[in-house]
Chain A
Amino acid sequence: SNNKVAYFYDMDVSRFHYGPGHPMKPHRLALTHTLVLHYGLHNKMQMFKPYRATSHDMCRFHSEDYINFLQRITPMNLAGFTKNLKLFNVGDDCPVFPGLYDFCSMYTGASLQAATMLNNKKSDIAINWSGGLHHAKKYEASGFCYVNDIVIAILELLKYHPRVLYLDIDVHHGDGVQEAFYLTDRVMTVSFHKYGNYFFPGTGDMYEIGAESGRYYSLNVPLKDGINDQAYQQLLKPIMKAVMQSYQPTCIVMQCGADSLGCDRLGCFNLTIDGHGECVKFMKEFGVPMMVLGGGGYTVRNVARCWTHETSIIVGQEINDELPYNEYFEYFGPDYTLRPDTSRGIENQNTKQYLDQLRQMCLESLKMITHAPSVQMHEVPPDLLSFDNYESLSELDVRERQEDVDQRIEPDNEFYDGEKDNDKESDVSI
C-alpha cells in the first residue's frame, strides 16, 4: 500500500476524565496510541500533534450561545448555570468535567486539520481516533458528545469536495451528522446501527431518508442485537458498493465507533475486531481520500485493539497478534493478543429475512439517487476517482454475494412493485 497516511494525536487528549462511573474513557486513546507506537506503525505514516480548534471553528456548526457556554462552564461554577445546563443538555450523559472545552478543542482541531490535509492532498487517509463524536447537535450536547467534530470537518471538506460520503459503523445511530446535513445532497450520510427497544438515540429507522434537496441522501440500516461479522458484511458490502457507485463521493469520512464490537460495555452487537476492521479495509479499497475517526467504544482494552488493528490496515502493515510489551500491557491480559474473540455472548436476533429485506430497501432507495436532478455528478476532479480500480478490488468480495442478493430480491420486487409510486409522495411523512 502506498497511501500517504496522516495520523493525529495529542498526548493530552487522553488525560481527561468524564467523572466517576462514566463509561466514556478518553484514556482508551492513550492505550491505542501506545499500541500504535509499539507496533512501529508510526514508521508508515506522518504523525501530527494537531491544531486546537477555536470557538470560531466550532461555531461554523454550533450556535455561539452553546459554544460560549462550553467555554465558561466548569465543575466549580455549575450552580450559576442551571438553566443553561438543561437547555444545552449538559448534565447526566454529558457531564461537566475539568477541561471539557480543551478536550473538545483537541479532538475537533484534529479532525479539522485532517480535513485540510485531505483538501490539500497532503495525505490520502487521515486518522483521528480522538474524533468521531457524532451525537453532538447544533444547539446541544448529546450522548457523551459536545462538539461535533465530524460536521465541522465535513464543512471544511466541502470547500474542495462536491460530494462527501459519511459512513458510521458505531453501534449508535449517527444522528448528529445526519441531522446537520439532512437537507443537502452534498453530503450523504450512511449509518449502520442498533435500533429499537429504547436504544439510544432513538432515531435512524430506514424511513429516515433525508428531506428537500437531501431526500434519499440519508441512508439508515437499523439492526437488532447480536449481529455477527458475516451478517454485517453481507449488508455493508453490497450497500456501500451501491452507495459508491450511485453517489460517487470524492471524499469519505468514516466513523469507526468500536462499540459495535462484541463484549462492549454499552453495545449489543457481536462483531469481532477482524470483522470491524474488514469494514475499514473495504472502504479503503475504493481508493477515495478518506478521513478515519473514532467514536464510541466502552470496553477500553478492545477499543485500543480495534483501532490499532485498523491503523495497521490503513497503513497496509501486517502486525503480529501477540501484543508488544508496553506501559499498559497489563490492561490486555490474560491473553495479551491483538484480536481475541470478542464475539461471545449475544444471540443474533437479525433474521435472514429481515436482513434481506433491509438490504433490498437500501438498494431500492439508492436507485433514487441516480435519478436525482440536483446531484452534480460531473463535478468530479478526475484525479480523485478511478472507478476501474475499485470495481476490481471489491469484485471478489461482493460480486458473488451480489448475485445471491439479486436472486433473493426477485420475489421482493413483486412485493414492492405496486407501491413504488406511493413510496415517493404519500410515504410516511418524516
Chain B
Amino acid sequence: FMFPSPTDHHPSPASTTEDQEFELTADAMVHDFDDEATMEEEEEDGDGDDEELDDLAKERDIPLEDLIAMYYGKQENKDVSETEKVKNVLTCDLDQSWRINLGLLHYLTKHEAHIYITYQVEDGSSSDSREQLPKTNENKDSEELKRKLRSNATLLSPTHAESPDEDGDYVPPAPEDWRKDPRVGDEFQVNMIPRCDNQGPDYNIDSDLLVWDPIKINPTKVESYLKEISDISTTGGLPNGCHLRDNEDALFLLSQCNNDTDEAIRQFRWKPRPLSSELQTWSEEECRLFEHGLSLYGKDFHNIHHNKVRTKSIGEIVKFYYIWKKSEHYDKFNAKTRLGKKKDTLHPGVTDYMERLLDETEHSIS
C-alpha cells in the first residue's frame, strides 16, 4: 500500500479534466459557506455523487465508534487497541465540525484509516490578510479526496479565476492553497554553509558605534552628569519635568569623551544640542499642514510629506504623528473631523447615536 504523498493531494489544476464541473457562485465565495452549501453545489452538478453525499450527511450522525468500525473495520480483529487509539486521536481533536489537524490526518493515513477530513478553501477576502476562515469537508476514500481537492484547487488556480465567472463582475482572489510543503532547491536554500574556521566578518567592523558602555563608569557620576546636562539645556527651553531624563545623546557624548564627564559638559556648553534631538520643533504652520494632510490622505505619510509638509522628512513626520496622536491636538483634530467620519474614535463602542448627540451637546456647553 502506497500512501499518497502530500504533493499527490494537490494535483496541478491544469492536468485535470473536471475543472469546469464545480463552479462556485460569487455569493458563495463572499459568504461563509459551509459543508451543506458545498454539498448542494455538488448535487446541482448531478454527476452521480448524490448517494455518496447522502451517506456522508448520514455519517455526521453516526457515533464515532461505529464510524471507525465502518472504515477501520478490516483491522478490527487484528488490533482492537489500535482502533481505540484512532478513536482517541479523533476525539481529542474532533470538535463540533469534524475538524481535525492535518498532521494527525497524515498519521491516520499511515494506519490506513480511510476517514478523510479535509479543509476546503474559501476566498481570501477576509480583512486580516494572515488568517482566513476554515472550511471542513469529509471524504470517503482517496479517489474522492482527489476529486474534491481538485475542484478545490480549481477555485484557487489563477487560470480559473481569470476565466469569466457566472456573475462576471466578481473575480475571487486566488490565494494559494494554505497548506504548503517545504521547498527544496537552489532557489530556496542558502548557497553555501560557511566553514567553521574562525574567519573574520566580511564587513567593516569599525563602522558600528558604541553609544554607551555602563561598565566603564560609576553610576552616580553619570547621574550627576545627566542632571547638569539637563540643567544646561532647560534654561530657555521648556522644562523637562521633575524626573531625571535619560538622555541618549548626552550618554553618547560622554562615551565619545572617553567617559570624562567634565570634558563632556564642556563640549555640551560650547555647542549645545537639542536635548531630544529626535524631535525637532514643529512650527504652528507645519502642524496645521500636517493635520490638513492627514485629513486628506489618512496615514499616507509619503503623500503628506510630498504635498503638505515638505520641510520635514517622512521619518520626522511619522515620529511626530505618534507623539501628536496622544496629544490634545489629536482630540481637537478628531472633534473637527468627526462629523465626516463614520467611526467615532473618541467614544469607541458607542452605538447609540441619540446618547452620543446628547453627550456632545453637553460637552459643548461645558
A interface list, Cβ under 8 A from B: 11-12, 14-17, 19-21, 27, 30, 37-38, 40, 42-54, 56-57, 60-61, 63, 75, 92-93, 97-99, 112-113, 116, 119, 137-139, 143, 151, 155-156, 158-162, 172, 178-184, 186-187, 195-203, 205-208, 211, 218, 222, 224, 266, 268, 324-325, 327-328, 330-331, 349, 351-354, 357, 379, 414-415, 419, 422, 426-430
8 pairs of residues in contact across A and B, judged by CB atoms under 8 Å: A16-B318, A50-B208, A61-B190, A137-B188, A151-B190, A162-B196, A182-B184, A199-B131
Whether the pair B182, A428 counts as a contact (CB closer than 8 A) is no
Whether the pair A328, B322 counts as a contact (CB closer than 8 A) is yes
Whether the pair B198, A48 counts as a contact (CB closer than 8 A) is no
CB distance from B145 to the nearest CB of A (A): 14
Q: What 4 A-B pairs have minimum CB-CB distances, sorted nearest first? A: A15-B315, A353-B92, A330-B326, A198-B132
Q: How far is the CA of A361 from the CA of B254 in the complex (A)?
A: 54
Counting CB contacts under 8 A, is B299 at the interface?
A: yes
Partner of B184 from A47, A158, A162, A183 at Cβ < 8 Å = A183
Known: A12-B315, A38-B246, A54-B203. A354 touches B101 (CB 8 A): yes
CB distance from B343 to the nearest CB of A (A): 13
Q: How far is the CA of A324 from the CA of B124 in the complex (A)?
A: 43
Q: Which residues of B contact A54 (CB under 8 A)?
A: 203
Q: Which residues of A contact B176 (CB under 8 A)?
A: 202
Q: Which residues of B contact A415 (CB under 8 A)?
A: 82, 85
Counting CB contacts under 8 A, is B209 at the interface?
A: yes
14 A-B pairs besides A196-B102, A196-B119 with CB distance below 8 A are A92-B129, A112-B201, A160-B198, A161-B196, A178-B182, A183-B184, A195-B101, A198-B178, A203-B180, A208-B182, A211-B184, A428-B5, A428-B109, A429-B6
Q: Which residues of A contact B203 (CB under 8 A)?
A: 51, 53-54, 56-57, 112
Whether the pair A197, B133 counts as a contact (CB closer than 8 A) is yes
Known: A16-B315, A19-B300, A224-B101. A40 touches B3 (CB 8 A): no
Q: How far is the CA of A414 from the CA of B106 in the complex (A)?
A: 19
Whether the pair A428, B6 counts as a contact (CB closer than 8 A) is yes
Whether the pair B179, A202 counts as a contact (CB closer than 8 A) is yes
- Interface of B, secondary structure class, is loop
Partner of A139 from B187, B246, B278, B326 at Cβ < 8 Å = B187
CB distance from A190 to the nearest CB of B (A): 15
Q: Which residues of A contact B301 (CB under 8 A)?
A: 17, 98
CB distance from A161 to the nearest CB of B (A): 7
Whether the pair A205, B103 counts as a contact (CB closer than 8 A) is yes
Q: How far is the CA of A222 from the CA of B100 in the complex (A)?
A: 13
**What is the chain B residue whose CB lies nearest that of A315?**
B214
Counting CB contacts under 8 A, is B241 at the interface?
A: yes
Interface flags for B64-105 (1: CB within 8 Å of A; 0: not) read 000000000000000001100100110011010000011100
Q: Which residues of B contact A53 (CB under 8 A)?
A: 203
How many residues of B are in contact with the other chain, CB < 8 A? Answer: 88
Q: How far is the CA of A21 from the CA of B199 in the complex (A)?
A: 44
Q: Which residues of B contact A158 (CB under 8 A)?
A: 193-194, 196
CB distance from B13 to the nearest CB of A (A): 18
Q: How far is the CA of A20 from the CA of B109 in the complex (A)?
A: 46
Whether the pair A172, B208 counts as a contact (CB closer than 8 A) is no
Whether the pair A203, B214 counts as a contact (CB closer than 8 A) is no
Q: Which residues of B contact A51 (CB under 8 A)?
A: 203-205, 207-208
Counting CB contacts under 8 A, is B30 at the interface?
A: no
Known: A113-B208, A179-B189, A266-B128. A206 touches B315 (CB 8 A): no
Whether the pair A429, B5 counts as a contact (CB closer than 8 A) is yes
Q: How far is the CA of A50 from the CA of B206 in the complex (A)?
A: 11
Whether the pair A200, B5 counts as a contact (CB closer than 8 A) is no
Q: How far is the CA of A197 from the CA of B122 in the complex (A)?
A: 11
Whether the pair B130, A182 counts as a contact (CB closer than 8 A) is no
Q: Which residues of B contact A187 (CB under 8 A)?
A: 193
Q: Which residues of A contact B314 (CB under 8 A)?
A: 15, 17, 98-99
Q: How far is the CA of A11 from the CA of B302 in the complex (A)?
A: 19
Partner of B182 from A44, A93, A196, A211 at Cβ < 8 Å = A211
Whether the pair B189, A197 counts as a contact (CB closer than 8 A) is no
CB distance from A59 to the nearest CB of B (A): 9
Q: Which residues of B contact A156 (CB under 8 A)?
A: 194, 201
Whether the pair B215, A46 counts as a contact (CB closer than 8 A) is yes
- Taking CB atoms and an 8 Å cut-off, the chain B residues in 212-243 that contact chain A are 212-215, 219, 222, 241, 243
CB distance from A173 to the nearest CB of B (A): 10
CB distance from A20 to the nearest CB of B (A): 4
Q: Which residues of A contact B248 (CB under 8 A)?
A: 11, 37, 47
Q: How far is the CA of A46 from the CA of B215 in the complex (A)?
A: 8
